[in-house]
Amino acid sequence: MNETIIQSPSLRTAVVERRLAELEPSDAARSVRGASLEDAMVMIWHLFKLLRPDLSFEPAYPAYLLDQPRTAGQMSPPQLPNEIVTWSVIRQEPGGQNTEPFGFPREYRPKLRESNLPNPAEWVSPSGSPTTALETYGQVFDSIVQFDCWAATNYEVERLAQYVRHTLQTYVGTLQTYGVSRMYFWRRLRDEFVGQFRGGQLARSIQFYFRTEAVYTATIPLIQRIEIVLDHLRLGGRSWAELHTDEAQQEASRLFHVS
pLDDT tens for 144-186 read 999 999 888 889 999 999 999 999 999 998 898 888 999 999 9
Is the residue at 254 inside a domain?
A: yes
Q: What are phi and psi of 161, to 5 degrees?
A: -65, -40
> Do both 49 and 175 map to the same domain?
yes
Is the residue at 204 inside a domain?
A: yes
The tally of domains found in the chain comes to 2
How far apart, in Å, are the Cα atoms of 181 and each of 94, 140, 162, 174, 176? 14, 9, 24, 11, 6
Is the residue at 145 inside a domain?
A: yes
- 89-118 pLDDT, tens digit per residue, is 999 999 988 889 999 999 899 999 888 788
What is the spatial distance between Cα 190 and Cα 203, in angstroms, rounded to a whole number? 9
User: What average pLDDT does the structure give for the chain?
Assistant: 74
Is the residue at 61 inside a domain?
A: yes
> Do both 159 and 234 map to the same domain?
no
- Whole-prediction pTM value? 0.67
**Overall average pLDDT of the 44-59 stretch:** 92
pLDDT of residue 13: 52
Is the residue at 1 inside a domain?
A: no
Three-state DSSP string of 156-178: HHHHHHHHHHHHHHHCHHHHHHC
Question: Regarding predicted confidence, which is higher, 246 or 191?
Answer: 191
- 13-36 pLDDT, tens digit per residue, is 554 444 334 434 334 334 456 899
Checking if the pLDDT of 66 tops 90, the result is no
